[in-house]
Structure 1
Amino acid sequence: MNALTVTDLTATYGPVRALDGVSFEVAPGCVTAVLGANGAGKTTLLRTLSGLVRPIAGTAHLGGTDLLRTPAEEMTRTGLAHVPEGRGVIAELTVRENLRLGALGAPRGRRGRFDLPRIYELFPVLGERRDQVAHTLSGGERQMLVIGRALLAEPEILLLDEPSLGLAPRVVAQIFALVRDLVDTDGLTVLLAEQNARSALSIADRGLVLGLGRVVADEPAADLADDVRLRDAYLGN
């Protein structure tokens, strides 16, 4: 299992510096929550690590792999899987067909922790709806589907962007509990970008707080949860 190491990462959107010298490390087998208000740089950070945004400076390595020199379409081969914000599924395909697409990106020879039966075990509702087309699913079921699809690529590290967005609290709690279990049981590493700081910190080992593209804090999750001043200034909940 490899650590993710990011050093002085800088990225822009036009004249806006969305990431400004961001440095941190994600330890293997843990959840690191990336927190901050809208516009803090959370989504840009995940998109840059997965090759969707090209930075103007800095480095990012997953073990010995230089992520910033890896094309986005090759990223799953490195052991990184990205679940973007928005629960993007192929609406016309069935649940099973959507899931099988994830397995196409699995690196050859990697130990198979996840297959279709395991995904159905993790998300029983997907097993029940395996032959339904994806557009018939609820928002929570679609979120489960995109996470399941990403797991079938056999990642070392999973990037999750705002998985709680627009979901009922009960569903959020279910998904976050599953993420924590994947770390504890399967040794998965998770980088979780969330505006819902309270829920994210409840399952995280470490928290990284961004403010206007810069690292404001990088501390154990329990310490961040107890820091009232930081919470009021940057997290909002």
Structure 2
Amino acid sequence: MTPALAVHGLTTGYGGAPVLHDVTLEVRPGALVALVGANGAGKTTLLRAASGLLPLAAGAVALAGDDLQGVGVEDRARRGLAHVPEGRGVVVELTVDENLQLGGLTAHRSAGARRAAVEEVYGLFPSLDRRRAALGHQLSGGERQMLAIGRALVARPRVLLLDEPSLGLAPQVVAQIMALLRARCDDGLAVLLAEQNVAAALSVADRGVVLDLGRVVASRPARDLAHDEALRHAYLGF
């Protein structure tokens, strides 16, 4: 099976200083891969490079077998690569419904198809359904995170890159978001989840990739990583 997302030999960084070194990983359709590691390990850098926000010094990124070299951020989104960065980036001056409508514009679908996709997201997040007319700045942190994820899902992507969705959220909200991601993967979505809440991420992931100082130090089934006490203590802090 062709990977939904393939990263091979990726080296990149900022201002000429490498942050990632020869990173290779794959995410298959319907799989959730947890990208875990300490602060500064390179998780956010990897997602930024995969989405086209950061140029590569070496290596390649492919979406469904197609090399993305020279493909810009917007074109990657149109091809089915969605990126939800850390910080719950919603447009706080717009309503929930307007934010979700924005997500559908990327996919170049008809107004009717976009509306159907928005309604599907409301079905996934009942708390957003109840607050359709609320402005972004009126939402709780958990609602903003749900809105950011929902806006990405409206475009019906092949691959979802998700950066630290649990940051600052209550445990019950984290559990809800993780369960939703697992359910979307079971429906065929491929997810690369960068997350410091390692236990939560590994509990729903198929596979875990551990980064340390910009290098892959382990890539195994998530259950194996969760039960490897030596590795957990050395790299994951739990």
Question: Same fold by TM-score, threshold 0.5 exceeded?
Answer: yes
Alpha-carbon distance, 1:67 to partner:
2.3
**Does residue 144 in structure 1 map to residue 163 in structure 2?**
no
Q: Deviations over 1:79-128 (max 9, x none)?
A: 1100000001111100000000000011559xx79612111110011111
Could you tell me how far apart the structure 2 residues matched to 1:101 and 1:65 are? 26
Identify the match of residue 120 of structure 1 among 114, 119, 122. Answer: 122
Q: Deviations over 1:133-157 (max 9, x none)?
A: 1100000000000000000111001
2:32 alignment counterpart:
31
Instruction: For structure 1, list consecutive stretches of 5 or more residues without a partner in the other structure.
Output: none
SS in 1 for 2:69: helix
SS in 2 for 1:154: coil
1:53 alignment counterpart:
54
**Does residue 14 in structure 1 map to residue 28 in structure 2?**
no
Query: Is the 1:6–1:25 Cα contact (8 Å) retained in structure 2?
Result: yes
Query: Is the 2:117–2:155 Cα contact (8 Å) retained in structure 1?
Result: no
1:222 alignment counterpart:
223
Query: Is the 1:2–1:156 Cα contact (8 Å) retained in structure 2?
Result: no
Could you tell me how far apart the structure 2 residues matched to 1:116 and 1:15 are? 41
Query: Is the 2:3–2:26 Cα contact (8 Å) retained in structure 1?
Result: no
Identify the match of residue 136 of structure 2 among 134, 137, 141. Answer: 134
Query: Is the 2:81–2:158 Cα contact (8 Å) retained in structure 1?
Result: yes
**How is 1:26-105 mapped onto 2 (pairs within 5 angstroms)?**
26-105=27-106
Could you tell me how far apart the structure 2 residues matched to 1:67 and 1:151 are? 21
Alpha-carbon RMSD: 1.6
Residues 99 and 15 of structure 1: CA distance in aligned 2, closer, same or farther (over 3 Å): same
Letter in 2 for 1:155: P
Q: Percent identity?
A: 61
Residues 178 and 126 of structure 1: CA distance in aligned 2, closer, same or farther (over 3 Å): same
Alpha-carbon distance, 1:224 to partner:
0.3
SS in 2 for 1:231: helix
Could you tell me how far apart the structure 1 residues matched to 2:185 and 2:79 are? 19
Could you tell me how far apart the structure 2 residues matched to 1:155 and 1:63 are? 12
**How is 1:181-200 mapped onto 2 (pairs within 5 angstroms)?**
181-184=183-186, 186-200=187-201
Could you tell me how far apart the structure 2 residues matched to 1:52 and 1:138 are? 28
1:106 alignment counterpart:
107
Greater alpha carbon shift after TM alignment, 121-130 vs 9-18? 9-18
Query: Is the 1:31–1:203 Cα contact (8 Å) retained in structure 2?
Result: yes
Query: Is the 2:4–2:65 Cα contact (8 Å) retained in structure 1?
Result: no
Letter in 2 for 1:65: D
Structure 1: which 4+ aligned runs deviate by more than 6 Å?
A: none
SS in 2 for 1:69: coil
Counting matched residue pairs gives 234
